[in-house]
């Protein structure tokens, strides 16, 4: 501990040493973990780590003073994350499950998810894009429920699984049409 009573080092015989640094107000400014990863914290002049505002449509926006902005809908779900490095948008279905994930500026979703009545993923896809042409390739993802169905559809060990997902009832779920 330092003279102000702040924890500056924690040694764990199994995982290693954590180090902590503070500003003159006693606010943590840096933490380095035993693996050497450093997390820095910044504060506004009033000691806040973020500024919060609310839009007319009820969305909350949190802007951290490192420039990252988060927008949350009225249900408190993340709908956008914006920084200098990247910007993302998330869409949610009527059951409050994540349905689409976009890189802001793209016309089509980069990731899509569909769920059964219990809220478990029954279909998901990852798309790659050409800036002018749109979706170029769909990379389907397997779910635990679909792996058995996929393996039953193989005719040889060298043939890849079909790019569809089959729910427990055996009906085929085709990827949604993204041609617009």
pLDDT band at 83 (very low <50, low <70, confident <90, very high): confident
Averaged pLDDT for residues 34-42: 82
pLDDT(10) > 60: yes
Q: Do residue 102 and residue 172 come from a single domain?
A: yes
- Asked whether residue 98 is domain-assigned, the answer is yes
pLDDT band at 1 (very low <50, low <70, confident <90, very high): very high
Q: Do residue 119 and residue 31 come from a single domain?
A: no
pLDDT at 153: 38
Q: Do residue 125 and residue 179 come from a single domain?
A: yes
Q: Do residue 92 and residue 179 come from a single domain?
A: yes
Angle (nearest 5°) at CA 137 between 132 and 138? 130
Angle (nearest 5°) at CA 99 between 111 and 139? 25
Number of domains in the chain: 2
Q: Do residue 93 and residue 179 come from a single domain?
A: yes
How would you class 97 by CB atoms within 10 Å of its CB: exposed for 0-12, middle for 13-18, buried for 19 or more?
middle
- Asked whether residue 67 is domain-assigned, the answer is no
Q: Do residue 32 and residue 95 come from a single domain?
A: no
- Asked whether residue 5 is domain-assigned, the answer is yes
Q: Do residue 104 and residue 166 come from a single domain?
A: yes
Distance, C-alpha 80 to centroid of its chain? 10
Domain limits at 10?
1-41
- Asked whether residue 131 is domain-assigned, the answer is yes
- Asked whether residue 49 is domain-assigned, the answer is no
3-state secondary structure of 124: strand
Instruction: Decide: 113 and 121 in contact? Cβ < 8 Å.
Output: yes
- Asked whether residue 64 is domain-assigned, the answer is no
pLDDT, tens digit, 9 for 90 and up, residues 116-148:
888 888 888 877 766 665 555 555 554 444 444
Q: Do residue 32 and residue 98 come from a single domain?
A: no
Instruction: Decide: 125 and 107 in contact? Cβ < 8 Å.
Output: no
Q: Do residue 21 and residue 93 come from a single domain?
A: no
- Asked whether residue 121 is domain-assigned, the answer is yes
pLDDT(46) > 60: yes
The residue with tokens 């450093």 is 38
Q: Do residue 33 and residue 95 come from a single domain?
A: no
Averaged pLDDT for residues 20-45: 85
- Asked whether residue 59 is domain-assigned, the answer is no
The percent of residues above 70 in pLDDT, for the chain, comes to: 67
Q: Do residue 35 and residue 104 come from a single domain?
A: no
The answer to which of 29-33, 42-46, 112-116 has the lowest mean pLDDT is 42-46
Averaged pLDDT for residues 23-52: 81
The percent of residues above 90 in pLDDT, for the chain, comes to: 12
**Cα distance between residue 127 and residue 12, in whole Å:** 43
3-state secondary structure of 122: strand
Q: Do residue 92 and residue 35 come from a single domain?
A: no
């Amino acid at each position: 501990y330092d003279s102000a009573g702040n924890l500056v080092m924690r040694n764990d015989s199994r995982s290693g040493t954590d180090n902590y640094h503070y500003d003159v107000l006693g606010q943590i400014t840096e933490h380095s973990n035993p693996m050497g990863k450093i997390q820095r914290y910044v504060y506004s002049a009033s000691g806040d780590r973020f500024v919060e505002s609310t839009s007319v449509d009820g969305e909350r926006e949190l802007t951290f003073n490192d420039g990252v902005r988060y927008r949350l809908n009225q249900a408190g779900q993340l709908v956008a994350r914006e920084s200098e490095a990247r910007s993302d948008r998330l869409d949610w279905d009527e059951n409050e499950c994540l349905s689409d994930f976009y890189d802001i500026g793209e016309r089509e979703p980069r990731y899509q998810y569909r769920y059964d009545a219990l809220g478990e993923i029954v279909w998901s896809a990852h798309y790659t894009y050409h800036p002018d042409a749109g979706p170029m390739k769909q990379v389907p993802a397997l779910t635990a429920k679909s792996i058995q169905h996929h393996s039953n559809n193989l005719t040889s060990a060298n043939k890849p699984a079909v790019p569809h997902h089959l729910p427990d009832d055996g009906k085929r779920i085709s990827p949604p049409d993204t041609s617009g």
